Every structure is written in C-alpha cells, then in structure tokens.
Chains A and B, each alone.
Chain A
Amino acid sequence: MKFALGRRMLLTMAAPVTAILFALVTSSIVLLASGSNPVAAFGDMVGHASKLETMVDIFNRATPLFIAGIAAAIGFRMNLFNIGVEGQYLLAGLVAAHVGSLFLLPPVIHFMFIMIVAMTVGGAYAGFAGVLKVTRGVNEVISTIMLNAIAISGLVAYLIRVWQAGDAIQGGVGRVGTTPIPESGLLPNLNGLLEIVTREVRQGKELTGMLIVAILVGVGYQVLVNRTRFGFDLRASGINPFAAQVGGVAPKRMVVIAMILSGAVAGLVGLPEVNSLGFFAANPIQGLGFTGIAVALLGRNHTAGIFVSALIFAFLDISSGVLQFTGAASREIVVIMQGVIILAAVVAYEVARRAREREEARAAAAALVEAPA
C-alpha cells in the first residue's frame, strides 16, 4: 500500500511540474524568437527574487492570490465557476475600508469588524449569482461576469468618488483613496517575526499581517471541506449532483451557500492592500480575482497546492519587474508563461487522472486475484 501511495504522489506531482517545465520551454522559445536570451532573462528574475526585499514583495502578492485561489476553489469543489471573485473583492475591500474608517474600536475588534464587513459584502454579492442560478436558472459564469462589470465599472467607480478623502493623503501624489482607517483597524506587519530568522528588512518593505489570516483561511478551508458534514455535502454535489441529491443534499441550498462562502472568502482578497496602505486606493491592484482562478486550477483546489501555486504566480509577477531595468527581455514574457502553465496544467492533470484511474482499477483487480474472497 505504501508503494502505491508513493506512486500516487508521484503521479500527482508529475502533472504540475510537467506544466511548469513546458511553460519554461515555450517561453524560452518565444524569448529566442524575439531576440532575447532566455538564460539571462530567467537568471535576472531568479537573482532578483533571491533578495529578501523581493521575497517580502512576493509573499505580499502571494497572500491575496492565495485567498482568491481558496475562494475560487470553494466554488470549484461543487462545480461552480465563480468568475466574480474580481468584482467581489474590489467591492468588499472598498466598502470595508470605508466603513472601517467611520468607527474607532478597540484594536483587534476593529480589525475583525472590517474583516466581517468585507466577508459580508463579498458573500452577499456572490450570493446574488447563487440565487439567480437556483431561482431563474442563470448560469453562474454569465451572472458573475456581469456582476463583475456592475461592481468594477459601476459601484466601485462611483463609490470611490463619493467616499474619496478630501485631498491626496499620506504618500502624496497618486496615493488617493478612501479616508484612512485608524491604526486600531490595521494588522501590524510581520517584519519582527521575519527578522528572527533573517536579517533586517530594508527599503521600507513590510511583510503583510494578512499572511496569518490567509493561512487561517487555508486551514479552515481544508478542514471544512474534508472533515465536516457540510464539506462532504459540498464535495458530493461537485462529484455527482444527482447522487448527492438522492443522498439527502438539497442542491439549490448548496449552490447558494457555496456561492456565499466563496464570495465571503473573496471579500478578504482586497484587505492586504487596504491593510498596507491604510485605506482603499482609488486605483487598487486589479486582476487578483482572475489570477486566483488560475491559482486554484494549478493548485488542484487543495490548500497546499494553492499555496505553492500562489507563490509561483507571485514570483512571476514580482520578479519580472527587474526585467524593465536589466533589459534582458520584456516583462510581458511572464504573462505568456502564466497562460501556458494553466493550459499545460489542465491537460497534464487530465492525463494524470486517466492514468491514475486505470492504475486504480488494475490494482483493485490484481489485489482480488491474489486474495480471492
């Protein structure tokens, strides 16, 4: 049995590793074709990423990507495609930052309050799509895409003007946004913790405290999905909705709950930025929700997988910044890599799944021949 488990692990790992290698080869070809030296380009990226300050940046980017990946994974686990993580986190971040600036509460409670507001807004907004699906039969892909448009170019664009603080705040030009949240509503950075194991973090970089929240969310997700009755119902509905229904799972209720839960987690995606700035920026980081979907795909909806894949995507995003300075290649090469990784991963996972199913069927048959009942 141990041996079989090892093989399974190997098969599971082989797929994403193959996908990443394939992406490396493809992007090298693209780099060569466009007259750049791939070795120099990747060398620059890795060299840059090995600096402590860049690593802090990578973790700061991986944190929201990880949370967005978990949000998407909750939907995926029951075959719901929540494309709306993008709109949900921007709207939730904005509302939470604004509401959080209106009160003064004791430290921990104030931050918790902001989190709860963000989760409520994200959950409610995603819940719309769930309700539309079960009452009107609207496919959640369509409705969440439309809700994204309404949230991003509609609600957020409007509310940011309404709630915008009088003048340029804090860092001066370009740092406009909502009224700053009092100190009690913000998490401290983790530089102190980090510096226990490393040297001092320079250049004013701060490791986001939201990393702790993200880890809690990841562990919570894993426990909820694998250890609880709710998680069982969720997975059963995802694997076979008909069998789940016969098994006592109310399908419509599950759709709504799963969407709300996915949206609630999505609501947290914008908080690392809010937390580091102290307010919701007029031009916030966008695209985290969409990348989160890719992160969940590469990570196989599994906490550890999502964590690693969030780090990979964050590494590509952040370390490619150095290419602008070294001129070894265009930084857009990482967009190609991200795309190829996803395409290759989808194919590789399917191949691995089929191989595993065959193997399992043979193993079961073989075990029975050896020990007839």
Chain B
Amino acid sequence: MAPAIELRGITKRFPGVVANERVDLTVDEGEIHAICGENGAGKSTLMKILYGMQSADEGTMKIFGDEVHFTSPTDAIALGIGMVHQHFMLADQLTVLENVILGAEPTKSLGRIDFDKAHEHLKHVGDAYGLDVHPGDLVEDLEVGERQRVEIIKVLYRGAKVLILDEPTAVLVPQEVEELFRNIRELKAAGSTILFIDHKLDEVLEIADTITVLRQGRTVATVKPNKVSARDLAELMVGSELPTPATTESTVTDEVALDVVAVSVVDDERVVVEDVSFQVHKGEVVGIAGVEGNGQSELVDAIIGTRAVSAGKIVLLGVDVAPTSVRDRRERGLAYIPQDRHREGLLLPAPLWENAALGHQTRPPYSKGFWIDREGARKQTELIRKEFDVRTPGVDVPAHALSGGNQQKLIVGREMTSNPAVLVAEHPTRGIDVGAQAAVWEDIKAARAAGLATLLVSADLEELIGLSDTIVVMLRGRVTATVDPATVTPRDLGAYMTGAAEAGAA
C-alpha cells in the first residue's frame, strides 16, 4: 500500500533564507505522525506546502501514491487533507454551525442553505469522534479550547482523511489533552491519518506512532517512540538540554501589591466569576490554574479593566481601581501580557516602536504631553530590542514581519520596561519556541527578584508549578483550592482543576 503522504527532497527558499532543505517525510495511512522542532525549524513552511498554501521550489509530493502539485488549499482539501491552524480561522460573529459549513454549505433548491441537513451532519461528525459542541453558540463567546474543537470538526466535516494539527495541545490542560488524544486515536481507528506538530515531548512520545524531527529546515531523524526518550528527542531538536521554569529561593515580601477582594463578574446574566479573593505580594508570583472556560479570562479582564466587576474590589497599590479605566490602571503600574498576542497584544501592520508604545502611550518616553515622542519611543524600543533579545532588523519593521517568539519578547519587553508594580501574564509562553520560552521565564524570574508582583495564568502546568510561589485553582468561576507548587504534581493539579480531587465532585 502506498503511503498517505510521501515528500521527497522538498526545498523551499525565501530570499536569504532556506526554510526547508531537502526534507523527506513519509506518513503511512492510518498512523499518527508527529513533527517536532523548534520555531523556525521549518515545520510551518512544510505544513503550508503540504496544505497547498505555498509551493515547494524543489522536490516531489505524493498523496496516496499519486504525485500532486497543489496550487491552493482547495486542491489539498479535494484530496482529503485538512488543517487545523494554530491561529484559528473562525468568523467570530457566526455560530459554530455556520462556521463549520462556511464554504461547504449544503444547499436546498434555489441555493438556500439546508441548515437541517448541516445540523444533522454536524451532530453525526461530533458523535462519531466524541467532540462536544453546541451548534448554536456564537464563536466569539467560546474559549480557546472550544474554538479548537470547532476547527477540528470543521475539517472533519469536509471529509478529511489526513488531518494536520498545528500545535493542538498548546491550549489544553492535561485532562483535555487526554480527551484530544482519545479523539485522535478514534480518528485513527476510523482510518484517518494524523499529522501533528508539537513542542511537548512527553505528549509526542505518548501519542505518536512515528516521530520526525526537523532542525534548521532539515530532517534530522525519523524515529519510533518506543526507541527514544524525551531527552533524546530534545537533543535532536535543539542540540542541548531543555531549560526549566523552576525558580530558586523565595523573594516574596509582605507588601501587598494587588488585592482582589470578593470579586464577582456577571456575563449575560451568568455568574462567571464568583466571590474570588486572593492577594499578590511584591516579589511573588501567584499562579492561576484552571481548565479553560472556568472564569480565569473573565477575572483577568476584570483586573485589567476591560470588563466590569459586579461586586468586589480590585486594590492596586492601596487604591481600589475597580471603578476606573484601563488607562488609569496602566498609569498606576499595571502591566499585561495578553493570551492572544495577535488579538490583544499587537498592531500587526504598525512599526515595532508603535507597538512598544501601545499601552504606555500616555507616558514618557513614548510621549511628551499631548504629543507622541517618536524619537523617545524609537530609543526605548531599541532598548527593548537589546535587553529582551527581540530579533529584528530594526524598530521600524512592522510587527507582522517578526516570528511569534520575537513578537512575544517585544510584548514582554514593553510591559517590563514600563516600570510596573503588578504584571498580569496570561499564557505568556503559548505557542512560542523553547528558546523564546526560556527567555520569557528568565524575564519573569528577574522581575520577581526585583520586587514585581505577578499574576500568572497558564495552561502549561509545568510552567505554572515552576514559576509560581502560590497556585490558586479556579473551577466554575470560584477559587476551589490554594496549593503549594513545591509539593503539588501536574497530575494532582489537573485533578483539582477538573474537580476530581474533591470527593464525589464533578
């Protein structure tokens, strides 16, 4: 039997860069094949070529034995290849069902959309793969994890036989990852071929039948998971040991920087955050653990000021800021690293120095009174570039030209250099490579040692346990446990997060 995918000698050059150099990849039908490698290793380019978004300069591509030349994703979809992107491609204003059928609408006479049929088909797909979604929900109301599920269903709905998943676990907690893996195994049992990109080696070893490692655009090795250890894989990927998030000694002071007092948040008459209280001291990192959709992001919104609290106080350096604006809070020393840097963190078409100014545009060195201080802003951005190792040819380059890791380093840099008292970091290392991740961890550790109070929300439990001095667990909008990261394991934490640790609960 011919392999599902066979790539031979794929080479893709961009001016000055070779993204892929003679890459070989063989994926057998019905297997789960993982692609590992740091950001910049050429995984994304390879997947884009396979999905028809870009064409290779050299090399051949065979799908189920037939040589193909894709000119657009439409060609790939026609041959049963589907892709779930890391940055979701969903229309926020449409419902789950509408998003799923978008571009592949079943029609009745006169070209009317047959919603009944679509509904039935969606239910069928959802049931078959155990993916639970509400067809009528608006996508803008969904959490990241739920959006991902919609993306997967969207691809399955189009009859994909080969699924490409771009870092699907980055947004999930262990229990959800297990569910995803169960789904992937079911897909495999049903005859589908899965190609997935991942940084997390333990996950790769658990799920994959075959692993291909890319480094600097080349295929380094193709291995079986039972023949290698995580350490072997890490060395293949980066050529050195993986960094760890763990902090050393405690720098916690007894000065409270952020005091969240009995905060509740109501969204659409639904209580999403209920009576939450905790304190963050100077020099302390407080982690918030929770399965996505349990009120963490609403709580963060309330602290930042983009969402009103229905009850409670948010005391920032002794002042209740609950009734004030985002700008007021920022001027008082609140810094924020948003969970989705493209959506909430950056002005993609604008130059880096304007991106650095965003959120700090009312203060020097970015402005002088009424005026924007272009010189000051450029100098400050230059400083951020040096201190936070933002790899860019200059500060006038638009933000979209940078890689994800460098975009994130810019955001971390601009927040850290604004002399903040409290930092709220929401998934600060999501979707960035190992090197950038280590840099962000180092920055947070250094700021902690310098007396910064940090509130860390993360789905990466190792990161949460490693960086935090205290971990608060949220479940269904309430704080259900406070645990000591020194003694808790990711598995125990996962149990608290899903409510399994409370006897008889959930």
Is A362 in contact with B14, judged by CB distance below 8 angstroms? yes
Contact B372 A228, beta carbon cutoff 8 Å: yes
Q: Which candidate, B21-29, B342-350, B480-488, is the interface stretch facing chain A?
A: B342-350
Q: CB < 8 Å: which of A232, A246, A357, A364 contacts B345?
A: A246
Q: Pick out which of these stretches binds chain B: A164-172, A184-192, A233-241.
A: A233-241
A243 touches B345 (CB 8 A): yes
Query: Would you call B372 and A364 a contact (CB within 8 A)?
Result: no
Does the CB pair A364–B347 fall under 8 Å? Answer: no
Residue B336, interface by CB 8 Å: yes
Q: How far is the CB of B316 from chain A (nearest CB, A)?
A: 14
Q: In the complex the two chains form, is B16's CB within 8 Å of A246's CB?
A: no
Q: Is B460 interfacial (CB-CB < 8 Å)?
A: no
Please tell me which one of the listed residues A231, A240, A248 contacts residue B372 in the complex, with CB atoms under 8 A apart. A231
Give B300 Cβ to nearest chain A Cβ, in Å: 10
In-complex Cβ contact of B16 among A228, A235, A243, A362 (8 A): A362
Taking A242-B343, A369-B16, A373-B389 as contacts, is the C-beta distance between A227 and B372 under 8 angstroms?
yes
**B393 and A363: CB pair below 8 A?**
yes
Q: Which of B373-405 contact A (CB under 8 A)?
A: 374, 389, 391-394, 397-398, 400-402
The reply on A245 being an interface residue by CB < 8 A is yes
CA distance A186 to B306 in the complex (A): 48
Query: B126 to chain A: closest CB distance in Å?
Result: 29
Bound CA–CA A139/B401 (angstroms)? 33
Question: Per a CB cutoff under 8 Å, which of A232, A250, A357, A371 touches B357?
Answer: A232
Known: A236-B358, A366-B15. A246 touches B347 (CB 8 A): no
**Do A366 and B348 touch (CB < 8 A)?**
no
Contact of A229 among B304, B348, B354, B371 (CB under 8 A): B371
**Bound CA span A220–B392, Å:** 33
Question: Closest approach, in angstroms, between the C-beta of B386 and any C-beta of chain A?
Answer: 9
How many interface residues does B have (CB within 8 Å)? 42
B359 touches A365 (CB 8 A): no
Contact A233–B392 (Cβ < 8 Å):
no
Do residues B362 and A229 form an inter-chain contact, with CB atoms below 8 A? Answer: yes
A3: min CB distance to chain B, Å: 13
User: How many angstroms from the CA of A228 to the CA of B31 in the assembled complex?
Assistant: 57
Please give the distance in Å from B93's CB to the nearest CB on chain A: 12
Pick from B14, B336, B402: contact of A246, CB below 8 A: B336
A contact patch SS: helix
B362 to A, closest residue via Cβ: A229
Residues on B with C-beta less than 8 A from A232 are: 354, 357, 361, 367, 372
Give Cα distance in the complex from A229 to B374, angstroms: 11
Alpha-carbon separation in the docked complex, A249 to B374 (Å) = 19
Q: Which residues of A contact B354 (CB under 8 A)?
A: 232, 236
The answer to whether B401 and A246 touch across the interface, beta carbons within 8 angstroms, is no
B330 interfacial by beta-carbon distance below 8 Å: yes
A239–B400 alpha-carbon span in the complex (Å): 12
Within 8 A of B (CB), among A214-265: 226-233, 235-236, 239-240, 242-250
Alpha-carbon separation in the docked complex, A139 to B121 (Å): 34
Q: How far is the CA of A230 from the CA of B402 in the complex (A)?
A: 27
The residues of B that contact A373 with a CB separation of less than 8 Å are 389, 391
In contact, A236 and B347 (Cβ under 8 angstroms): yes
Q: Which of B16, B331, B336, B374 contacts A370 (CB 8 A)?
A: B16
A 274-287 to B, binary, CB cutoff 8 A, 1 in contact else 0: 00000000000000
| Chain B residues in 8 Å Cβ range of A33 | none
Residue of B nearest to A367 (CB): B393
Q: Does B71 contact A (CB under 8 A)?
A: no
Given the known A-B contacts A231-B372, A236-B358, A364-B402, are A246 and B304 also in contact in the complex, defined by CB atoms under 8 Å? yes
**Please, which residue of chain A has its CB at the minimum distance from the CB of B330?**
A248
The residue from B17, B350, B370 contacting A235, defined by CB atoms under 8 A apart: B350
Contact A364 B397, beta carbon cutoff 8 Å? yes
Q: Nearest chain B CB to A4's CB is how many angstroms away?
A: 10
For window 351-373 of chain A, which residues contact chain B by CB distance below 8 Å?
357, 360-371, 373
Partner of B348, one of A227, A228, A239, A249: A239
Query: Is the C-beta of B76 less than 8 angstroms from some C-beta in chain A?
Result: no
Min CB–CB distance A32 → chain B (angstroms):
36
Cβ of A229 and Cβ of B401 under 8 Å apart?
no
Contact A366 B17 (CB under 8 A): yes
Distance (whole angstroms) from the CB of A249 to the closest CB of chain B: 7
Enumerate chain B residues within 8 angstroms of A226, measured Cβ to Cβ.
Answer: 372
Chain A: which residue is nearest B343 at the CB level? A242
Neighbouring B residues of A364 by C-beta, 8 Å: 392-393, 397, 401-402
Chain A residues near B346 (CB-CB < 8 A): 240, 243
B107 within 8 A of A: no
Residue of B nearest to A364 (CB): B401
Please, how many angstroms separate the alpha-carbon atoms of A182 and B348 in the complex?
Answer: 52
- Kindly state whether residue B231 has any CB partner on chain A within 8 Å: no
Most chain B beta-carbon contacts within 10 A, residue among A236, A364, A367? A364
Give the distance in Å from the alpha carbon of A122 to the alpha carbon of B287 in the complex.
52
A366 — which chain B residues lie within 8 A by C-beta? Answer: 14-17
Q: When chains A and B are docked, how far (Å) is the Cα of A97 from the Cα of B455? A: 59
Q: With A248-B326, A366-B16 as given contacts, are A228 and B371 in contact (CB-CB < 8 Å)? A: yes
Residues of chain B contacted by A365 (CB below 8 angstroms)? 14, 16-17, 401
Within the complex, which residue of A239, A246, A363 is in contact with B349, where a contact is CB–CB below 8 Å? Answer: A239
**Distance between Cα atoms of A314 and B327 in the complex (Å):** 44
B371 touches A239 (CB 8 A): no
* Partner among A228, A243, A250, A367 whose Cβ is within 8 Å of the Cβ of B327: A250
Please report the C-alpha to C-alpha distance between residue A169 and residue B17 in the assembled complex, in whole angstroms. 74
A235 vs B357: C-alpha distance when bound (angstroms): 13
Contact A228–B397 (Cβ < 8 Å) = no
Docked CA distance A258–B17 (Å): 43
Query: Which residue, B15, B17, B346, B401, has most C-beta atoms of chain A within 10 A?
Result: B401
The yes or no answer to B30 lying at the interface (CB within 8 A) is: no
Q: Is B325 on the interface with A (CB-CB < 8 A)? A: yes
B338 at the A interface (CB under 8 A) = yes
How far does the Cβ of A246 sit from chain B's closest Cβ, in whole Å?
5
Q: Which residues of A contact B392 (CB under 8 A)?
A: 364, 367-368
Query: What residues on B are CB-neighbors of A233 within 8 Å?
Result: 361
- Write out the residue numbers on chain B whose beta carbons fall within 8 Å of the beta carbon of A371: 393
Q: In the complex the two chains form, what is the Cα distance from A370 to B397 in whole Å?
A: 16
Residues of B contacting A362 with CB < 8 Å? 14-17
* Shortest distance from the beta carbon of B419 to any chain A beta carbon, whole Å: 15
A57, B362: Cα distance in complex, Å:
45
Q: How far is the CB of A288 from chain B (nearest CB, A)?
A: 31
Look across to chain A and name the residue whose beta carbon is closest to the beta carbon of B331: A248
Q: For the complex, give the distance between the alpha carbons of A370 and B17 in Å.
A: 9
10 cross-chain CB contacts under 8 A: A226-B372, A232-B372, A240-B346, A244-B358, A248-B330, A248-B362, A357-B400, A361-B401, A365-B14, A367-B392
User: Which A-B residue pairs are the 10 nearest by beta carbons?
Assistant: A366-B16, A367-B393, A248-B327, A247-B359, A364-B401, A247-B358, A239-B347, A360-B401, A361-B401, A248-B326
* Chain B residues packing against A (C-beta within 8 Å): 14-17, 304, 306, 325-327, 330-331, 336, 338, 343-350, 354, 357-359, 361-362, 367, 370-372, 374, 389, 391-394, 397-398, 400-402
Question: Given A240-B347, A361-B401, A370-B16, 20 other A-B contacts at CB below 8 A?
Answer: A1-B394, A227-B372, A231-B372, A232-B354, A232-B372, A235-B347, A243-B346, A245-B306, A246-B306, A246-B336, A246-B344, A246-B359, A248-B359, A250-B326, A357-B349, A360-B397, A362-B14, A366-B17, A369-B16, A369-B17
Point out residues on A near B: beta carbons under 8 Å.
1, 226-233, 235-236, 239-240, 242-250, 357, 360-371, 373
